[in-house]
């Protein structure tokens, strides 16, 4: 995915750059749907199969992340993004099939994520579309993995490429995709709080944390994180050193 063209545009905005977060500025905090709609959108309709519901949202999230990343992928290069970074100096390590942690450049990591996801959602034994086929017992854990990996891509887009996303007018779309993933996660507890904490400030800025009655306490955590910002930053750096992704 990482195209090597237009090297003149890369560099400055890539990687863990300055502390000021463009994506937290009021002017860019728009998104396409109000939050209430998004919460209703992820609520499991009566009579609908839970796995079916998870499958459709996972596929929609994949499409949207793929779309936004595909648009800016020429700016995400091995030289500009030698590591797979997220906000707060978070670094994601790829786990290969043998479970070995590998440090890979962001475009490589994202290519692995997209290839894995595409392959998985196209696999009739995992994401069945035919009437007679059933979801495997491991389906939910596979969805959790996909959602976590897509979250990493979103985190990288915010941390390293938000300016390009914004200049292309895709920031509202990225915010909506993040809102969708967050709403789905709040409703069904799909990823661990230590994963999502790197974008907690954005969750708060986009008002995604109000009145969440479901599980996970992600949003009550957020108040603590907000008041202990320096602490949480330290944690992120520690996490980065040990690598926090698991297969
Ligand atoms: Zn990048």
pLDDT at 31: 67
Question: Model confidence over 216-245: pLDDT tens digits?
Answer: 444 544 434 433 333 333 333 333 333 344
CA of 211 to the centre of ligand 1 (A): 34
pLDDT at 19: 65
Neighbours of 59 (CB within 10 A): 15
DSSP code per residue over 83-133:
SEE-STT-EE-EE-TT--EE---HHHHHHHHHHHHHHHHT-TTTS--STT-
DSSP assigned state of 44: P
Q: What's the mean pLDDT in 123-127? A: 93
CA of 86 to the centre of ligand 1 (A): 10
Least confident range of 13-27, 35-49, 84-98, 127-141: 13-27
The whole-model pTM stands at 0.77
CA of 153 to the centre of ligand 1 (A): 9
Using CA atoms, how far residue 228 sits from 85, 98, 218, in Å, is 22, 37, 15
Does 81 count as an annotated binding residue?
A: yes
Higher pLDDT pick, 8 / 60: 60
Question: Model confidence over 12-53: pLDDT tens digits?
Answer: 444 444 568 888 887 777 765 666 677 778 888 888 889 999
60 exposure class (CB count in 10 Å sphere: 0-12, 13-18, 19+): middle
C-alpha 122/C-alpha 126 separation (Å) is 8
Cβ(214)–Cβ(189) under 8 Å? Answer: yes
Q: What is the mean pLDDT of the chain?
A: 80
Q: What's the mean pLDDT in 67-84? A: 97
CA of 238 to the centre of ligand 1 (A): 22
**Which superfamily is assigned to 16-246 in CATH?**
MOB kinase activator (1.20.140.30)
Q: What's the mean pLDDT in 55-67? A: 95
pLDDT bin (cut points 50, 70, 90) of residue 158 is very high
**Cα angle, residue 243 at apex, residues 242 and 244 outer, rounded to 5°:** 115
CA of 122 to the centre of ligand 1 (A): 26
Q: Could you tell me the residue ranges of all domains in the chain?
A: 16-246
Does 161 count as an annotated binding residue?
A: yes
Q: Is the pLDDT of residue 171 over 60?
A: yes
CA of 183 to the centre of ligand 1 (A): 25
């Amino acid at each position: 995915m990482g195209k090597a063209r237009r090297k003149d545009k890369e560099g400055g905005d890539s990687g863990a750059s300055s502390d000021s977060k463009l994506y937290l500025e009021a002017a860019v905090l728009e998104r396409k749907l109000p939050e209430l709609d998004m919460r209703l959108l992820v609520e499991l309709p009566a009579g609908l199969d839970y796995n079916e519901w998870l499958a459709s949202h996972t596929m929609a999230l994949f499409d949207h992340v793929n779309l936004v990343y595909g648009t800016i992928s020429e700016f995400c290069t091995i030289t500009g993004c030698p590591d797979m970074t997220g906000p707060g100096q978070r670094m994601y390590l790829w786990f290969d099939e043998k479970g070995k942690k590998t440090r890979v450049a962001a475009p490589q990591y994202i290519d692995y994520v997209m290839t894995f996801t595409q392959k998985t959602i196209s696999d009739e034994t995992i994401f069945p579309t035919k009437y007679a086929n059933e979801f495997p017992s491991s389906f939910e854990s596979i969805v959790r993995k996909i959602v976590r990996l897509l979250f990493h891509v979103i985190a990288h887009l915010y941390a390293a490429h938000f300016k390009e996303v914004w200049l292309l007018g895709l920031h509202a779309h990225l915010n909506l995709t993040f809102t969708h993933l967050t709403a789905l996660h709040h409703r069904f507890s799909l990823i661990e709080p230590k994963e999502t904490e790197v974008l907690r400030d954005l969750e708060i800025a986009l008002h995604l944390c109000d009145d969440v009655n479901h599980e996970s306490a992600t949003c009550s955590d957020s108040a603590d994180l907000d008041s202990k910002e320096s602490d949480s930053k330290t944690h992120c750096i520690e996490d980065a050193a040990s690598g926090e992704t698991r297969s």
